[in-house]
């Protein structure tokens, strides 16, 4: 994947435009490591409820579901754990206050995974740059800054078997807010992307060793809407529990994100205002559960564009 072929780059461009995501194979993260990650996560969620509650979610991190899913009416059939990938050892002291073998094994596996995924993320970003027409020898200051400062948040999802799957949802429809997400999933399908025109939910196949890549809202802004953030959800089933591990890549929380000049097509203008991730989350929170998109709030309006073209004329 280090030297992705022109054909692979064209496929990335096409799927990022049409779907907002794709399945990545041949990425080099060993399958055997992915299996160990899944085993550790199953072990974590199998702990007694009281032990998990010690790490109850606060300030965005910890055990529990992300707050946005509470604004949906359908029953959510999942458990979750969110943490900063750089702080595995301190975060999981909350679950294992005295350390010990289980703690060590869990942290070792998560750190190994983080190291591999971080390296992979940079390769994926470079593929996206190429797919936008920004070749390796034309990467500018902003592009390199993004590459060097990307942050990573990990989220662990556990969807137990559900006796009445049609009455529940694993994770409500949402877009990811950052740049892009690499998702490891069990060999049990459940992730679905919303395909446009006509709208329908399409299940992402569970291919051994593959990682799903999903584009987030800030990447939609960065690419001036050329790559679109995709609405996705997770469904549950009666026969198998399912684990998924989204590895979220994004900018530092206070870095301004605006359409990359090199990504704006000839004859077009920047269609989004610049925003930090922190600011974006405030807009997004207001939109949860409403039938409107936070991204739309950041679109530059015709009036603003006219004002920009003719300063001081009103």
Ligand X SMILES: O=C(O)CCC(=O)C(=O)O
Q: Which residues bind ligand X (CB under 6 A)?
A: 155, 157, 171, 176, 183, 185, 190-191, 232, 234, 244, 246
Q: Select from 12-20, 28-36, 107-115, 171-179 the region that touches Fe ion (CB under 5 A).
A: 171-179
- Total chain residues near Fe ion (CB under 5 A): 1
Out of Fe ion, ligand X, none, what residue 175 binds, judged by CB under 5 to 8 A for its kind, is: none
- For ligand X, the closer CB: 234 or 249: 234
Cα(23)–Cα(9) distance, integer angstroms = 13
Cα(291)–Cα(79) distance, integer angstroms = 26
**Which string of DSSP letters, residue by residue, matches 108-171?**
HHHHHHHHHHHHHHHHHHHHHHHHTT--GGG--HHHHHHHHH-EEEEEEEEE---SSGGGEESE
Q: β-pairing, 168-169 with 75-76?
A: parallel
User: What's the closest the beta carbon of residue 312 comes to Fe ion, in angstroms?
Assistant: 44
Q: Any contact of residue 217 with Fe ion (CB under 5 A)?
A: no
Window 172-211: residues binding Fe ion (CB under 5 A): 176
Q: Select from 11-19, 41-49, 169-177, 222-230 the region that touches Fe ion (CB under 5 A).
A: 169-177
User: What's the closest the beta carbon of residue 232 comes to Fe ion, in angstroms?
Assistant: 6
Out of ligand X, Fe ion, none, what residue 177 binds, judged by CB under 5 to 8 A for its kind, is: none
User: What's the closest the beta carbon of residue 157 comes to Fe ion, in angstroms?
Assistant: 9
Distances (CA, A) of 120 to 179, 182, 207, 225: 14, 9, 18, 24
User: What's the closest the beta carbon of residue 244 comes to Fe ion, in angstroms?
Assistant: 9
Torsion region of 28: left, alpha or beta (phi above 0 gives left; psi -120 to 50 gives alpha): left
The enclosing H or E element of 215 equals strand 211-215
Residue with tokens 């902003």: 142
- With beta carbons less than 8 A apart as the criterion, state whether 195 and 19 touch: yes
User: What's the closest the beta carbon of residue 104 comes to ligand X, in angstroms?
Assistant: 26
Out of Fe ion, ligand X, none, what residue 186 binds, judged by CB under 5 to 8 A for its kind, is: none
Out of Fe ion, ligand X, none, what residue 132 binds, judged by CB under 5 to 8 A for its kind, is: none
User: What's the closest the beta carbon of residue 162 comes to ligand X, in angstroms?
Assistant: 14
Cα(176)–Cα(232) distance, integer angstroms = 9
Out of ligand X, Fe ion, none, what residue 185 binds, judged by CB under 5 to 8 A for its kind, is: ligand X
Count of positions (residues) in the chain: 314
Residue nearest to Fe ion (CB): 176
Torsion region of 270: left, alpha or beta (phi above 0 gives left; psi -120 to 50 gives alpha): beta
Out of ligand X, Fe ion, none, what residue 40 binds, judged by CB under 5 to 8 A for its kind, is: none
Question: Interface residues with Fe ion (CB under 5 A)?
Answer: 176
């Amino acid at each position: 994947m280090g030297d992705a072929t022109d054909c692979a780059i064209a496929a990335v461009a096409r799927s990022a435009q049409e779907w907002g995501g794709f399945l990545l194979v041949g990425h080099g993260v060993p399958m055997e490591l992915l299996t160990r990650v899944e085993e550790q996560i199953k072990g974590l969620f199998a702990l007694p409820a009281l032990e998990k509650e010690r790490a109850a979610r606060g300030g965005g991190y910890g055990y529990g579901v992300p707050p946005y899913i509470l604004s949906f009416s359908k029953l959510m059939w999942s458990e979750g754990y969110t943490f900063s990938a750089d702080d595995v050892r301190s975060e999981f002291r909350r679950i294992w206050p005295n350390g010990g073998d289980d703690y060590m094994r869990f942290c070792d596996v998560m750190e190994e995974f983080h190291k591999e995924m971080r390296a992979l993320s940079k390769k994926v970003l470079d593929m996206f740059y190429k797919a936008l027409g920004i070749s390796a020898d034309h990467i500018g200051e902003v592009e390199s800054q993004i590459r060097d400062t990307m942050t990573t948040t990990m989220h662990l999802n556990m969807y137990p078997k559900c006796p009445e799957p049609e009455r529940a949802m694993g994770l409500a429809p949402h877009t990811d807010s950052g740049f892009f997400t690499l998702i490891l999933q069990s060999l049990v399908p459940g992730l679905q992307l919303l395909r446009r025109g006509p709208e329908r939910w399409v299940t992402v196949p569970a291919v051994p060793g593959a990682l799903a890549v999903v584009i987030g809202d800030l990447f939609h802004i960065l690419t001036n809407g050329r790559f679109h953030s995709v609405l996705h959800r997770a469904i549950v089933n009666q026969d198998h529990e399912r684990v998924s591990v989204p590895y979220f890549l994004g900018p530092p929380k206070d870095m301004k994100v605006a359409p990359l000049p090199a990504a704006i097509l000839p004859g077009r203008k920047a269609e989004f205002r610049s925003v930090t991730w922190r600011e974006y989350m405030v807009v997004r929170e207001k939109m949860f559960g409403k039938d409107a998109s936070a991204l739309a709030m950041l679109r530059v309006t015709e009036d603003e564009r006219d004002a920009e073209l003719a300063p001081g004329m009103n």
